Amino acid sequence: MITMQVVIFDNKSNSENNSSYYTNPDNSDENESGADFLIRILKYLETPQYLRKALFPMHSSLRFVGLLPPLDAPHHLRKHEWGPFREGVTLKERAPNSSGTLVDVGLNKNFVIDQVLNPGTRVTVAMGTDRNLDADSVRQIVSSSKPREEANTYWGYRVRYASNISSVFRECPYKGGYDHLIGTSEHGSVTKSSDLVIPTFRHLLIAFGGLAGLEECIEEDMNLKVKDASEIFHSYLNTCPHQGSRTIRTEEAIFISLQYFQEPISRALEKI
């Protein structure tokens, strides 16, 4: 199962982190940038519904978020659903007769974990094999990658901010960086999805530009000495040929392109 990270990058010539989402401690909406807005919305949608009130203070950017379609991902469990793992948030209340921490995992009762953590921390909890949710046994905190590794279950995505496109590559959290880079643009080459060959990879990056495309992002980034997009990416593709309209919104291009890449990526993963 693929792990997924969404990187939101600005068109800036420097490499400083200018996103107020990370530098504004009171979480106010004053001078919130477009990148801040996207990051907040993406993080909110990825979070299970029962955790949102605890993890997201009221904010004007979230005023109409209820109109967006829900992800309904596997980790967005309902109260009546059992799962070997659940996302939870640590509480201020102390566990009775225990030195551990109480965690709200979206059920009718809270559970104890054997670690002491600050309140308001999001955690992934292993619920054990006993489907009796009334059992008082202590639950264990595990890595958020555990559901994917043990149960081959998609467990959401992470969001990262980059001040420019060069920071997307330079600040890659994976050891060795991205081993295959794909750029998308109306100026890219046209290849049928069935004919596209993606080599085996560990960390694949698919990049989308804004209204002016990746070309402008590359041109304005002073950290990039190479200005030809085809020299930066291993593949530079037009995933939306014959579009008809003058432009396609980035959010539209993403949905179209993810469907386009589904088969080639599946073929590449079969070779691993």
The 10s digit of each residue's pLDDT in 231-271 is 999 999 999 998 888 888 888 999 999 999 999 999 999 98
| pLDDT tens sequence across 162-193 | 999 999 999 999 999 999 999 999 999 999 99
pTM of the model: 0.87
C-alpha 181/C-alpha 169 separation (Å) is 9
Q: Percent of the chain, pLDDT > 70?
A: 89
Residue (of 208, 214, 241, 240) closest to 229 by Cα position: 214
164-270 CATH, one of 3.90.1150.10, 3.40.1280.10, 3.40.50.1970, 2.60.40.4070: 3.40.1280.10
- Which residue is associated with the tokens 């109480």? 102
Q: Which long-range contacts (CB under 8 A, 24 or more apart) does 111-120 make?
A: 111/138, 111/139, 112/136, 112/138, 112/139, 113/138, 113/139, 113/140, 113/141, 114/138, 114/140, 115/141, 117/90, 117/141, 118/90, 119/90, 119/91, 119/92, 120/54, 120/55, 120/89, 120/90
222 has pLDDT over 70: yes
Residue 219's pLDDT is what?
93
Task: Give the largest Cα separation in the chain, rounded.
Answer: 67
Please give the sequence-ordered ranges of beta strands (E in DSSP) within 105-143, or none if there are none: 111-113, 122-126, 140-142
Residue 94's pLDDT is what?
82
Q: Which of 23-27, 80-84, 134-138, 265-269 has the lowest mean pLDDT?
A: 23-27
State whether CATH 2.40.50.140 applies to domain 85-151. Answer: yes
- Which residue is associated with the tokens 């905190």? 141
Q: Percent of the chain, pLDDT > 90?
A: 67
Residue 25's pLDDT is what?
43
Task: Give residue limits of the domains in the chain.
Answer: 85-151, 164-270
Residue 62's pLDDT is what?
94
- Mean pLDDT over 67-96 rounds to 91
24 has pLDDT over 60: no
164-270 has the same fold as 85-151 = no
Residue 2's pLDDT is what?
63
**Residue 138 near residue 112, CB atoms below 8 Å:** yes
DSSP codes joined into one string, 150-214: HH-----EEEEEESSHHHHHHT--STT--SEEEEEEEEEEP--GGG------SSEEEE---TTHH
Q: Which residues are within 8 A (CB) of 172 and not within 5 positions of it... i.e. 6 or more apart?
A: 178, 203, 205
C-alpha 157/C-alpha 175 separation (Å) is 18
**Residue 76 near residue 45, CB atoms below 8 Å:** no
**Residue 168 near residue 144, CB atoms below 8 Å:** no
**Residue 73 near residue 53, CB atoms below 8 Å:** no
